[in-house]
Structure 1
C-alpha cells in the first residue's frame, strides 16, 4: 500500500475561485497519479504548499488507478477519497523522432517556466530542455508544437529536437537542445528577418514573434517557443507577422518573457 510518506507532489494547480484543484503526484518513487481536490477541503495556503498538504492527505487507496478525487466525507466530515478510476489519458500523437525518454529518468535542474525545465539525462552529455504537459488536459497543447518541430528538422530555424518525453505508455512532451544566447533587440532586425523568411518559406506562421522568442549569439540566431505556430499558406498572415517584427524588437515591456503569468483566478506553484 502506498503511504503518505512515499508521496511527492510534482505539480499542482490551485484554483482560488473554482471547484477543484489538481495535483500530479509521484507514489513510491515509480508511479505517477493525478488527484483532484474539492475547494474547501483544505485551506488554499496548505494546498499551495506541498509540505503542509501531504501529511494531511488521506491514505491512498489500494488498487489499479491513476486518477482520484478527494472530498469531505458526509459521515466523518474528514477528507476522504470519493472515488478512484483508471483512465487512459491522452498522448501526443505526432511521434516522429526515434528517441523516447521517460520523465522519471530525468533529473530536473532550473525551471524556466512551470512546464519548461533544464534537465539532465544519461542519454545526453550536456543539459537539455524538457517541455511537457503537467496535466492530461495540457497534452493537446504540445501535439501541434511537436508537429511543427518535425517540419523544422534540419533547417536551422529552431533548437534541435532531441526526443519525446514519456509517462508510462503515453507521450507528454519533448526534449530540445539547450541553446545559450541573448534576447533579440532592434540591432538584430536583419538576422531576425532572415530567420522569419526561412520559417515562412516552410509555410509556417510563428504566431508569437516577440523579442524573447529569438536567441542571438555571435554566429547566428534561432527561434524558440512554437506553441502558437501553425502550418499555413496565408500570405497575408505572413506579411503581417513580418511587418510587426520591427516593433516587437523595440518592445522593452517584458511581454513574452519567461516570467510565469498567473491569473487572479489561478495560483500555480512548482515543487
Structure 2
C-alpha cells in the first residue's frame, strides 16, 4: 500500500496506559487506526501527548508500523518493545440502537471548523454549519448510544424541541458508526430572565415521556421559536423508567431549573470559536 502520513486525532491517557486514535493518509485513500500503548514509559513524558512526537517515536520503535493494521497493541517484555496487530476491534455504536434511514458519512471526509468540546465539533457540510458529535474511544460509546436513542425516539414522537439528526458518521466501514451530524440551533444560551419560557418548554419536553437528565444553561438554546434542548447524552425515556420514577425525576428537573439558570460556575460551557 506504500508509506502513509499519520496524524494524531485523539488520545485517552490513563495512569499506566494510553489509547491513540490516528488518521492514516495514503496517496489514494484515508482511514482511522487505533493504538493501545500498554506501558506509558515506552514514550518519554514530553512525547506522550504531542501528536508529531507520538507518531515519530512509535514509528521508529515499533516493527511493522507501516504495515496494514487497524488496531495495534504496543507493550514491553523484559525491556523489549513488542506489538500485536488486530487483536481487538474498533468501537462502534451497538446494533440494537434505533436508527433512521439517513446518509452515512465517512469521518475522514468531514471538514472540522471548530472544536466546542472533546466530542463536539462545528463542521461545514455543503456550505452549511452543522454540529458533529462523536465518540473517539470505546468508553464513550454509551453516551453516544443514549443520545442517538433519545433523539431518534423523541423525533418519532413528534418532538421539535431537540436538534434534528441529519446523518450518521462512520470510520472505516458504514457499519462502524461513531457519531452523528445534526443541525446547529441558532440562538443564545439561556439565562435567568428566560425562566418562564424555559419552564414551559421543559414541561413540554417532559410530555414526550422523558427527562433531559443533564440540564445546564448551556444546554438550553433560546431560538427565534423559543427554547430548544441539546446534549441529550443522559436523557432517559419512559421505556426505561416506571411511571413513578419518571414523574419524580421530571419534577426534580423542574424544581432545579431556577438554580440551573442562575449557576455562574460555567460548567458545560463550550470552548469559544476563534475571535468570539
Short-chain TM bin: 0.7 to 0.9
The structure 2 residue matched to 1:156, chosen from 160, 166, 169, is 160
**2:9 aligned partner:** 10
**1:49 aligned partner:** 50
**What is the Cα deviation at residue 72 of structure 1?**
3.5
- Counterparts of 2:167 and 2:179, CA distance in 1: 9
**1:224 aligned partner:** 230
**Does residue 101 of the first structure (1) align with residue 113 of the second (2)?**
no
Contact 2:106-2:170 at 8 Å conserved across structures: yes
- Counterparts of 2:89 and 2:76, CA distance in 1: 27
**Does residue 195 of the first structure (1) align with residue 201 of the second (2)?**
yes
- Counterparts of 1:216 and 1:48, CA distance in 2: 37
What is the CA RMSD across the aligned residues, in angstroms?
2.2
The structure 1 residue matched to 2:261, chosen from 221, 233, 249, is 249
1:1-271 aligned at under 5 Å gives the runs 3=3, 6-15=5-14, 18-29=15-26, 30-37=30-37, 38-57=39-58, 58=62, 60-61=64-65, 65-72=69-76, 74=78, 77=79, 80-85=81-86, 87-92=88-93, 93=95, 94=97, 95-121=99-125, 124-153=126-155, 154-167=158-171, 168=173, 169-232=175-238, 233=243, 234-258=246-270
Write the deviation string for residues 240-269 of structure 1: whole angstroms up to 9, x where unpaired: 110110111111121222259xxxxxxxxx
Contact 2:34-2:70 at 8 Å conserved across structures: yes
**What is the Cα deviation at residue 86 of structure 1?**
5.1
**1:265 aligned partner:** none
Task: From the superposition, tell whether residues 90 and 142 of structure 1 become closer, same or farther in structure 2 (CA, over 3 Å).
Answer: same
Task: From the superposition, tell whether residues 2 and 140 of structure 1 become closer, same or farther in structure 2 (CA, over 3 Å).
Answer: farther
- Counterparts of 1:166 and 1:51, CA distance in 2: 25
- Counterparts of 2:74 and 2:87, CA distance in 1: 15
TM-score (norm 1): 0.85
SS in 1 for 2:41: coil
Unaligned runs of 5+ in 1: 261-271
Q: Which has the higher contact order (CA 8 A, sep 6+)?
A: 1
Matched residue count: 252
Write the deviation string for residues 89-128 of structure 1: whole angstroms up to 9, x where unpaired: 443232224221111110111000111101123xx33021
TM-score (norm 2): 0.83
